[in-house]
Amino acid sequence: MNRWNVTGLIIVGFITVIAIFGPLLAPFDLEHHVTPGFVTDGAGEQQYVAPPLPPDRTYWFGTDVFGYDILTLMMHGAKYTLAAAFIVALFRVVVGAGLGMIWGYYRKGKQRARTEGNLLSGIPMFVVVLFMMYGLSINSTLSPLTLTVLLGVVLVLLGLPAIISSTANKTRQIQEQQYVLASVALGAGDMRTLRYHILPQMKESLLILFLHELILTLTVFGQLGIFHIFVGGTLMQRDPVLFTSLTHEWAGMVGNAKGAIGPRDWIFLYPMLGYVTLIFGFFCVSKGMEQSFRNRYHKVSQL
């Protein structure tokens, strides 16, 4: 196991622990918030306090404009960010790779396979998702779980064509190997060939693809967050106009706080730091896996 793998697994493992046990370890209840009013300091003097409060010994990450503890919100919202990205990436790879292997195995037109699945390649994915989800997500009557599932379904469907196309091409390359042709010539059926010859050759590629899809999904969450489309739904408050993530997932907290850069930058900084760290963790695992697989199959010339 190389340094990239170790670094990535430590980061991802730590955030996974937060996602699972965060609500139990959070310093405050989710409903706890600071209200404007006078408080007495250590010298016996009264001071007027109103959110947002900067980081201090009580609120390590400070509070947002509503007075909610940012650390508590992040520890409650981590599970939505991690679980949603994991499930979307998993369904994309499992469904896309399955269909791609079948399509590539039975489809003989190679040139056509290179162009299929690229109808939306010129349009950024988040733009398509934005138009599809904007009317549903903001002040929706649907539950956060339902909105998360709908967003996941849209992201899975939009990501399938590219995975099907690339997997189909990879399947054809393996199908042309001599040992596969020999097995078919000896009477191996289609399902046996797919299961025992093609799938084992693609396991490592699919693992790397899964990690890449995780990173891509998290990136799309961040792009959507800029336009106030948050995982689990968005609550919009008028006069003044404020957007809040209903699930407090990290990309939503970043998008919600983008206007706080400046004198209240802690509202944006800590969610952004957590969000970028999560993406970096998966990037490290992906890079480490690629290096491990490359070293395993690297052949040294014999003298």
> Which of 211, 204, 174 lies closest to 8, judged by CA?
211
The two three-digit tokens of residue 247, written as one number: 């699930």
pLDDT given at position 297: 58
The pLDDT, as a whole number, for residue 179 is 80
- Cα separation, 73 vs 53, in Å, equals 15
> Is residue 96 exposed (0-12), middle (13-18) or buried (19+ Cβ within 10 Å)?
buried
Residues 132-139: contacts with CB under 8 Å, at least 24 apart = 133/224, 133/229, 134/227, 134/229, 137/228, 137/229, 137/230, 137/233, 137/234, 138/228, 138/229, 138/233, 138/234, 138/235, 138/236, 138/243, 139/234, 139/235, 139/236
pLDDT single digits (tens) 216-247: 999 999 999 989 999 999 998 887 788 889 99
pLDDT digit string, tens, across residues 283-300: 999 999 888 877 765 554
How far from chain centre, in Å, is Cα 237?
A: 27
Q: What is the CATH number of domain 3-290?
A: 1.10.3720.10
Whole-angstrom Cα distance, residue 66 to residue 298?
Answer: 56
Question: Which of the residues in the chain have pLDDT under 50?
Answer: 109-119, 300-303
Please, which residues have CB within 8 angstroms of residue 89's CB and are 6 or more apart in sequence?
A: 210, 213, 214, 216, 217
The predicted structure's pLDDT at residue 209: 92
User: pTM to 2 decimals?
Assistant: 0.86
Look at strands 46-49 and 37-40 and give their pairing: antiparallel
Which residue, 8, 80, 62, 22, is CA-closest to 233? 80
What one-character DSSP code corresponds to residue 45?
-
**Residue 98: what pLDDT?**
92
